[in-house]
Structure 1
Amino acid sequence: MTLGTVITQPSPDSLKVTAHEQYNTPDHLTPTNVLPDPLAQFRQWFTAIQSAVHEPEAMTLSTATAAGVPSSRTVLLKQVDSHGFVFFTNYASRKSRELAENPHAALSFYWREVAKQVRVVGRAERVSRAESEEYFRSRPLGSQIGAWASRQSSVVAEGEVQARVDRFMEEFGGEVPAPDFWGGWRIVPDEVEFWLGKPSRLHDRVCYTRVEGTPDDAPQWKIVRLSP
């Protein structure tokens, strides 16, 4: 990429971005050179970029209420299995409440250093309790205690969270059980798009769409090239 971001301030209450970096990746992305399974293609990309991208597991999760009011936030991908993309959170959080009432969700990965993006649209499902507990045991002690101490997305008083941290540290000591209000979500994709940055905004875009009626354990995919 070549640097070219230019920001102007035409008035005290506005900003304008009048130019941006130009992408110039040497690779090419077409329906003929990707893997037939989008999850396999994602794992290939994700594995290849580890040394080049800082925190590649960071992804934007978009959810919506039953009425369709959207919200987005960054969460961390923890697993990609044969069914979808897994992250963990408090089941009382805003994201979990919205997924419970409206299971449609979207994910977006942006890997600036390699000029790649991945966009996912799918359906949310809870992972099994065994999966949640297995991952919870792998977390550092502080993160385990934090899961108990944080009533995620609720209004909190100054010092309240730390007081709960101190209380749970004393209560549990070195062995912390997984809270029943905490666990994983899996986004099962119906659509996955891979994006590769190119000059003049003529980016390569390849999109997988699940063939309607095919099962989650053996989906079939239609693969097409999209216009930039």
Structure 2
Amino acid sequence: MTHIADLRKSYERAELNEDASHADPLKQFEQWLKEAISAEVPEPNAMTLATVASNLRPSTRVVLIKGFDARGIVWYTNYDSRKGLELAGNPFAALQFHWVELERVVRIEGVVEKVSAEESNTYFHSRPLDSRIGAWASPQSQVISGRGVLIANAARYGAQFLLNPPRPPHWGGYRLKPDNWQFWQGRKSRLHDRLQYRLDAASAAGQGWIRERLAP
């Protein structure tokens, strides 16, 4: 039997250096995301979201990125879920993408806000019908007696809304506005490449980025 402590992998696929990377972290992220999609890695849009509760206990879960631009990274969820309640009390959060096959990690930190109702409505109505009904049927993060509760809720809301369920008031989008990015590329001998981008408060409007290398 192989012991976990003995598992090893040598990372040798690529490199990441200052000269070849983008000065804008959003462009660097867009390039890496496109490469992850092109490489057909499993669920390249999956990201781990970390939040912290009022008792200072952190929690993580996997969500799916649904959009990104200069304003930030967007995903959608139930506002009454554990993550939603934690974000209501502490809007600072972190995201992480791990593209194992490419030996790459992207970490993003910043403050989170809800997207506009118009954005949430537009995305909600683009979803498949069963997903829209599911947003009504699942009291996310709450204790339920069994799967039958979800099935019964889905049937009830399906009969009520038919083909046009409205967006639930407790469901919508969040946007994380980054103030720190880190890009990690696995390298041989554990001498990995790790570039950090942090906001330069002294730049015009505080929107410039300082790019620097961190020890792995």
CA distance in 1, matches of 2:169, 2:23: 38
Counterpart residue identity of residue 67, structure 2: Q
Q: Which residue of 1 aligns with 2:50?
A: 62
SS of equivalent residue, structure 2 residue 43: coil
Q: CA deviation at 1:66?
A: 2.4
Counterpart residue identity of residue 129, structure 1: A
Q: Deviations over 1:88-145 (max 9, x none)?
A: 0000000010011001101111001111110111111100010001110111111000
Work out whether 1:75 is the aligned partner of 2:70: no
CA distance in 1, matches of 2:204, 2:112: 15
Q: Which residue of 1 aligns with 2:20?
A: 33
CA distance in 1, matches of 2:183, 2:38: 20
Partner residue of 1:109 out of 97, 100, 113: 97
Work out whether 1:185 is the aligned partner of 2:179: no
Question: What percentage of residue pairs aligned between the two structures are identical?
Answer: 44
Q: Which residue of 1 aligns with 2:37?
A: 50
TM-score w.r.t. the length of structure 2 is 0.94
Q: Which residue of 1 aligns with 2:196?
A: 207
Q: CA deviation at 1:46?
A: 0.5
In the alignment of these two chains, the number of paired residues is 214
Q: CA deviation at 1:212?
A: 2.5
Call closer, same or farther: CA 1:214–1:68 in 2, change over 3 Å.
Answer: farther
Q: CA deviation at 1:39?
A: 1.3
Unaligned runs of 5+ in 2: none
Q: CA deviation at 1:33?
A: 1.8
Q: Which residue of 2 aligns with 1:3?
A: none
Q: Deviations over 1:43-63 (max 9, x none)?
A: 111112213211111111000
Unaligned runs of 5+ in 1: 1-5, 9-15
CA distance in 1, matches of 2:202, 2:116: 24
Q: CA deviation at 1:19?
A: 2.4
- Given that residues 180 and 199 in structure 2 are in contact (C-alpha distance below 8 angstroms), is that contact kept between their aligned partners in structure 1? yes
SS of equivalent residue, structure 1 residue 50: helix
Q: CA deviation at 1:30?
A: 1.7
SS of equivalent residue, structure 2 residue 125: helix
Following TM superposition, the consecutive aligned residue runs of length 4 or more in structure 1 with deviations greater than 2 angstroms are: 212-216
Q: CA deviation at 1:17?
A: 2.4
SS of equivalent residue, structure 2 residue 16: coil
Q: Which residue of 2 aligns with 1:135?
A: 123
Call closer, same or farther: CA 1:156–1:214 in 2, change over 3 Å.
Answer: farther
More RCO (CA 8 Å, sep 6+): 2
CA distance in 1, matches of 2:204, 2:79: 27
